[in-house]
Amino acid sequence: MSILLRLDAVSKSYAHRPAVAAVSFEVHAGESVALVGESGSGKSTLARLALGLVRPDAGTVRFEGRDPARLRARADRDVRARLQFVPQHPRGSLNPALRSGEAVGFALRAHGVPRRERADRTAELFRRVGLAPELARRFPRELSGGQLQRVAVARALATGPALVVCDEPTSALDRDTRERLLDLLTELRERTGTAYLFVSHDLAAVARFAHRTLVLRSGRVVEEGRTDRLWTAPEHPYTRALLDASGPHVTLRTPASATGPNDQNEEPR
Ligand code: ADP
Ligand code: MG
C-alpha cells in the first residue's frame, strides 16, 4: 500500500521542554492509525505537526511527498483538500459568523464544487453525520458540543480527503452519538478508502477503529503495533497501565480488514 503520511524523527519543544521527541511513523492509504497516551503525552502536537499547523524543530513531515507546512493556499488547493482535520475543540475552529451549513458549503466551494450543487451536497453531508438538515441554518453558538463536532466532521469529509486527522473526535459526544460517529467514519473508510490519524484517549473507540496504534509517553513512542496485538499482548508496562486504567469496558473489536476472524471479540489480555 502506498504511504500517505510519513513522519521521520520529528521533534518539537515548547520553552525547551520536548512535547514530541524523535517520533517516526507512517500512515498508508486506507489505514487507520491511533495515537494514544495520557494527557500531555504529545498527541495533539503530533496531530498538528502532521497537518503542517506546527513546524518541527527537527525531522521531516511529508504528506503525499510534500511538506504540509509549505502548502500554498491556492496552488496547492487540491493537496490541502486531501488532508483534513477534525479538531479537538470544534467551537474554536468554526467561524462564529457563519451558519453551520455555510461552513460546509465553503469547504465544498474551496474544493471546486459548483454553487448549484452545494446545498444538496451539504444536506447529504449533514444527513451522513446524523445532523437534522435544519441545523444547517444555525450558528455555532446555537449548537451543542456534539453537534459542532459532527459539523466539523461533515466539513472535513466535504472535500473527499485521503487522510483525516481527528483529535479526540468522540470526546464531546454521548455514548450513542459516539457510536454513530464511529460507524460513519468506518463506513466512509470502507466505501472510499479514507485513511485516519485518530488521536484519542478513548481506548474503546481505538480498539474498535484503529488498525495500528502508537502509544505515546512524554512525547516518545513507547510501543506500537497492530491494535489487536497491543491489546492482547502489550509489551510495555505503560501500555498495560493504560489498558488497566481504561477498565473492563475495552473489548477488542478491531476492524475486520486488519485482523483475522479468530481475533474478533477477545477480551484484552
Ligand atoms: P496531548 O494532546 O497528548 O494532551 P499535547 O500535544 O497537547 O498533549 O501537549 C504535549 C506537551 O506540550 C504538554 O506538556 C503541553 O503543555 C505542551 N504544549 C502543547 N502545545 C503547546 C503550546 N502551544 N505552547 C506551549 N506548550 C505546549
Ligand atoms: Mg490533546
Residue 33's pLDDT is 98
Query: b or e along 120-134 (b: 16 or more beta carbons within 10 Å of the residue's beta carbon)?
Result: ebbeebbeebbbeee
- Residue 200 Cβ inside 6 Å of ligand 1? The answer reads no
Asked whether residue 118 is domain-assigned, the answer is: no
- Residue 44 Cβ inside 6 Å of ligand 1? The answer reads yes
- Lookup: cell for 227: 491494535
Domain count, the chain: 1
The C-alpha cell 489505514 sits at 31
For 48-53, the CB contacts below 8 A with 24+ separation are 49/7, 49/10, 49/12, 49/20, 50/5, 50/7, 50/165, 50/197, 51/83, 51/85, 51/165, 52/83, 53/85
As a three-state string, the secondary structure of 183-243 is: HHHHHHHHHHCCEEEEECCCHHHHHHHCCEEEEEECCEEEEEEEHHHHHHCCCCHHHHHHH
Tell how far the Cα of 16 is from the centroid of ligand 1, in angstroms: 12
Give the span between the Cα atoms of 110 and 99, in whole angstroms: 17
Asked whether residue 175 is domain-assigned, the answer is: yes
Residue 256's pLDDT is 53
- Residue 37 Cβ inside 6 Å of ligand 1? The answer reads yes
Which residue's CA is the closest to the ligand 1 atom numbered 22? Answer: 14
Q: What is the pLDDT along the chain (269 residues), one digit of tens a residue?
A: 699 999 999 999 999 999 999 999 999 999 999 999 999 999 999 999 999 999 999 999 999 999 999 999 888 988 999 999 998 888 888 999 999 999 999 999 988 899 999 999 999 999 988 899 999 999 999 998 889 988 999 999 998 999 999 998 887 778 887 888 888 889 888 888 899 999 998 888 999 999 999 999 999 999 999 999 998 899 999 999 998 888 655 555 556 554 333 333 333 33
Tell how far the Cα of 42 is from the centroid of ligand 2, in angstroms: 7
Asked whether residue 205 is domain-assigned, the answer is: yes
Asked whether residue 256 is domain-assigned, the answer is: yes
pLDDT in tens, 207-247: 999 999 999 999 999 999 999 999 889 999 999 999 888 86
Tell how far the Cα of 18 is from the centroid of ligand 1, in angstroms: 9
Asked whether residue 193 is domain-assigned, the answer is: yes
- Residue 45 Cβ inside 6 Å of ligand 1? The answer reads yes
- Residue 16 Cβ inside 6 Å of ligand 1? The answer reads no
Asked whether residue 47 is domain-assigned, the answer is: yes
Tell how far the Cα of 94 is from the centroid of ligand 1, in angstroms: 22
Which residue's CA is the closest to the ligand 1 atom numbered 1? Answer: 40
Residue 145's pLDDT is 84
Which run of H or E residues covers position 78? helix 77-82
The closest-lying atom of ligand 1 relative to the alpha carbon of residue 38 is 3
Residue 248's pLDDT is 59
Tell me which residue of 47, 32, 41 sits closest to 212, measured CA to CA: 32
Which run of H or E residues covers position 83? strand 83-86
The sign of the CA dihedral 209, 210, 214, 219 is negative
Give the span between the Cα atoms of 129 and 185, in whole angstroms: 9
Which residue's CA is the closest to the ligand 1 atom numbered 5? Answer: 42
pLDDT in tens, 139-165: 999 998 889 988 999 999 998 999 999
Radius of gyration of the chain (CA): 18
Asked whether residue 70 is domain-assigned, the answer is: yes
Tell how far the Cα of 15 is from the centroid of ligand 1, in angstroms: 11
- 199: CATH: 3.40.50.300
Asked whether residue 55 is domain-assigned, the answer is: yes
Structural domain span for residue 54: 3-90+161-263
Tell how far the Cα of 52 is from the centroid of ligand 2, in angstroms: 16
Contact between 49 and 56 under an 8 Å Cβ cutoff? The reply is: yes
The closest-lying atom of ligand 1 relative to the alpha carbon of residue 48 is 6
Please state the pTM of the whole predicted model: 0.89
Which residue's CA is the closest to the ligand 1 atom numbered 14? Answer: 40
Give the span between the Cα atoms of 202 and 34, in whole angstroms: 10
Give the span between the Cα atoms of 127 and 48, in whole angstroms: 29
